[in-house]
């Protein structure tokens, strides 16, 4: 008997399965992640806000979940699709993965042929999608209609949905206290592992909400500025671009992911949507400065357009799979950014030295 639960895509394709999370429906943009570990870090990464994530690894939930592995204060993704949801078998586990999803009211679908689904998304591109996991019955045709009605994420300020309005403070791990340089960090959807990494190299960090302006940054009298990762289209956060324009040249700047795109826009470059984005922890990136290659963790649907880079920006990193821009640095201001995640929780950690490089700016 065919399951009553399904994922419907805007192109009319439907994938059936069984609800294994919160019993409700959700619309979102369907993307796939190729990582083999880190499912808790994936679902708690605010950069997935508005997206239904398909995990390509077939066995999910095996090592359970624990509070220490949460990358934010909640789950912001729209929904999740997996091949098999397993109970935990790990002494470190505090909660089953399916229970975590229910606790944060995130729907999930299991029993899906995710290999076929990932291949479909790779060929057709990221899709507007509708995830039906509610108890009430719904026809697949209605699900497709709901998917097509979803407005998508382009041009929308998704950072407002995920930023912590209260902000936070992090102290340097070396105990330097007030003697440590202070970094003001824009929270566009920042991962906790990034803040831990900044503290680990000796920074005091004051985290500001995404809507903060340049005046609020300068009022802290910081020694540097950090632009975090976050969800959605960088064109949807023009206020952040304007703030960075004001601060560029006045403070050393480091950006990651969405922060990288915002820095590029502030310098006059352009951004555009990728066909299916980069989501996973096995993306090879070449450093054009020292001719090295790092395996990196990534999570983005938009990228900086290489041909639009102004003369003030130097291309420092490229993606070896598709040649897209992975890193830039300003030729006169102390500013650089990367598209990938050097904190890379749960890994790999090939690029973790970039936080030390930022520390050396001081």
Q: What SS3 string covers 147-208?
A: HHHCCCCCCCCCHHHHCCCCCEEECCCCCCHHHCCEEEEEECCCCHHHHHHHHHCCCEEEEE
Q: Are 245 and 330 in contact (CB under 8 A)?
A: no
C-alpha 59/C-alpha 333 separation (Å) is 47
- 3-state DSSP call for residue 62? coil
Catalytic sites, residue numbers: 257, 341, 343
Q: Are 76 and 29 in contact (CB under 8 A)?
A: no
Which one, of 152, 132, 161, 129, lies nearest residue 21 by Cα?
A: 132
- Enter the tokens of residue 231: 């969800």
Find the length of the chain. Answer: 362
């Amino acid at each position: 008997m065919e399951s009553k639960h399904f994922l419907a895509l805007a192109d009319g394709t439907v994938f059936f399965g069984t609800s294994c999370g919160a019993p409700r429906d959700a619309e979102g943009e369907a993307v796939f992640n190729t990582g083999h570990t880190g499912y808790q870090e994936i679902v708690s990464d605010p950069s997935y806000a508005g997206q239904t994530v398909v995990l390509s690894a077939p066995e999910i939930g095996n090592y359970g979940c624990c509070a220490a592995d949460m990358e934010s204060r909640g789950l912001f993704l729209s929904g999740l699709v997996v091949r098999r949801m397993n109970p935990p078998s790990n002494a470190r586990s505090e909660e089953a993965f399916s229970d975590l999803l229910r606790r944060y009211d995130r729907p999930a679908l299991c029993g899906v042929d995710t290999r076929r689904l990932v291949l479909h998304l790779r060929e057709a591109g990221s899709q507007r999608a509708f995830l039906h996991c509610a108890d009430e019955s719904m026809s697949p045709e209605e699900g497709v209609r709901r998917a097509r009605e979803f407005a998508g994420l382009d041009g929308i300020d998704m950072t407002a949905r995920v930023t912590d309005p209260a902000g936070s403070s992090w102290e340097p791990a070396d105990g330097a206290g007030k003697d440590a340089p202070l970094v003001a960090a824009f929270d566009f959807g920042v991962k906790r592992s990034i803040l831990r990494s900044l503290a680990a190299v000796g920074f005091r960090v004051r985290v500001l909400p995404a809507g903060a302006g340049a005046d609020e940054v300068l009022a802290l009298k910081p020694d540097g500025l950090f632009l975090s990762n976050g969800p959605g289209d960088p064109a949807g956060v023009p206020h952040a671009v304007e703030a960075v324009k004001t601060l560029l040249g006045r403070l050393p700047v480091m950006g990651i992911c969405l922060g990288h795109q915002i820095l590029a826009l502030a310098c006059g470059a352009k951004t555009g949507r990728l066909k299916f984005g980069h989501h996973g922890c096995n993306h090879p990136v070449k450093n054009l400065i020292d001719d090295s290659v790092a395996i990196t963790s990534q999570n983005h649907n938009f990228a900086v357009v290489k041909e639009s880079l102004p003369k003030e920006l130097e291309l420092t990193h490229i993606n070896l799979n598709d040649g897209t821009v992975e890193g830039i640095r300003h030729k006169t201001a102390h500013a650089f950014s990367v598209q990938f995640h050097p904190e890379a929780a749960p890994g790999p950690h090939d690029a973790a030295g970039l936080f030390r490089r930022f520390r050396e700016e001081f």
